[in-house]
Amino acid sequence: MAMSSNLARSLPDSPAGDLRPASLLSKMASRGRRPSQLVTSAVSADEAPANMSPGSVVGDMERGTLAEKTGRSDGQLTSRWRELHGSNDWQGLLDPIDTVLRGELIRYGEFAQACYDSFDYDRFSRYSGSCKYPTRTFFQDVGLAGVGYEVTRYLYATCHPSYPNFSIWKHNPGDDKLWSESATFVGFVAVSTDEETARIGRRDIAVAWRGTVTRLEWVSDLTAMLKPLTACGVPCPDPSVKVERGFVDLYIGKDPTCRFSSYSAREQVLAEVRKLVERYAARGEEVGVTVTGHSLGSALAMISAFDIAESGANVSPSAGGKKAPVCVFSFAGPRVGNTRFKERFEGELGVKALRIRNVHDMVPKVPGFLFNEVIFPAVLLRVADALRVPSVYTHVGVELALDHIVSPFLKPTGDLASYHNLEAHLHLLDGYRAHGQPFELGGRDPALVNKAADFLRDEHMVPPGWRQEENKGMVRTEDGRWALLQLPRDVEAHPVPDDIDIHLAALGLLVQEQDGI
């Protein structure tokens, strides 16, 4: 459900000007002063090594200083990871916020942001709808080198495959079908490296989903009717558990004629999670599953986390049926399901969810304008559900509400897309200490807010939407003409792996499909 303006296009050049450390910015802001020059970089030009490329500087700004200043490197994760991932529903960790938890939230928020930063949404590209980068260099290419994770597979989704997802048809339909009219890159599955696993205390399987980009995804966002999960192939024993139809249709949609979405996003993520859980649990390792997403991606995160637990994809038979705990870190997410979805999600399945939102953002307030947890108590919502009142929705999990007005770096604006912007949410997390306390930067560069937005105060001299390709990808050819650079992309590395049927069969999903369920 993210606005299309919330997307980044490519690795940026370094911002020009006098770059002073973020610690100085924080002190000036806390004193009520505004810096008069460009001062919004966490890594100054003087501090950056001479051999560091502009892309490396961006990666350092996004992660390098943050890891040290939030407690991610102090060894606490090894012993506290279950607590930080909701074993006690984050009691006592949110107000004031636990510094190690804040680092975790920003890390997973960066995973969701990486889905935007790597998405090729240029309608003139021969690869529109794909991920711009190969899996082996994904984190380096999005500026997160050294994050300690490796992408194991990309996720693709489709909805209404008879219609194109972009505003025009591909220019050359006969050009070897390099990409698909219907399939789009929607997220990824990654796993922590051996070194990172030792540091964080478990083998972490991370699933990240992006928000709305294509026009058909906007159709999914606006389809607010509830649909039973049992009608979607999810093995939920209770037919009264329902979710928003547009969200789940995108999750289960497939196009048999497309090599990238011949399996649904649901089948792709369940098979991959099942494979990784079994692989590492069989070695005797502690394994956890963390799902994250922004906006529409938050809805997909909630549904897929429910499905992972309901289908048993987080269970390892070779490890005696041991279950990997499932946790969701959600950003700016809408309501997803009804009261029974919430009860089964939190109760019977034990999935944990922490929702981060900007109180001025409208997206988390929908769907369910009339019947929701804000207007009615849970008991009345359950009665309305039982009476089959349409559009009864409620949020799941624990909420962390932030307010962009408290940040001295953000300007007053009526732009609703800025309120919803994921980078703005990460900025608010970075400066949040406790409700009622002053905003204080922790280590994340405020300039990132304006990657694809216009939300920073003008005196910081950071141009809006600064993260873009030089000349929008146009290059001059040998004959002096200008043309869009079409770099060869290893699309053969993107499709679904051959072993997906093996893992789906282990979950019983192929049998269900044959039975017409």
Element (H or E) spanning 205, and its range? strand 203-209
Radius of gyration of the chain (CA): 22
The 3-class SS string of 467-497 reads CCCHHHHEEECCCCCEEECCCCCCHHHCCCC
- Beta strands per DSSP E along 275-317: 287-294, 315-316
End-to-end CA distance of the chain: 29
Q: Is 295 a catalytic residue?
A: yes
Q: For residues 25 and 347, give the distance between their C-alpha atoms in angstroms, rounded to a whole number.
A: 44
The C-alpha atoms of residue 508 and residue 290 are separated, in whole angstroms, by 23
404 classed as catalytic: no
Q: Is 136 helix (H, G, I), strand (E, B) or coil?
A: helix
Q: Can you name the residues that pair with 323 across neighbouring β-strands?
A: 315
| Cis amide prior to 463 (ω within 30 degrees) | no
Out of 295, 298, 304, 407, the active site residue is 295
Strands (E) in 326-453, as ranges, are 326-331, 352-358, 398-402
Helices (H), 75-190: 76-84, 99-117, 138-141
Q: What is the DSSP string of 365-402?
A: G-S-SSBSTTTS-HHHHHHHHHTT-SSB-B--SEEEEE
Q: Is 330 a catalytic residue?
A: no
Alpha-carbon torsion, ordered 461, 465, 470, 474, to 10 deg: -150
Q: Which of 98, 204, 361, 385 is catalytic?
A: 361
Rounded to whole angstroms, the Cα distance separating 404 from 361 reads 10
CA distance 156 to 269: 9
Catalytic residue among 294, 395, 404, 420: 420
| Phi, psi of 247, deg, nearest 5 | -65, -50
**Known catalytic residues?**
295, 361, 420
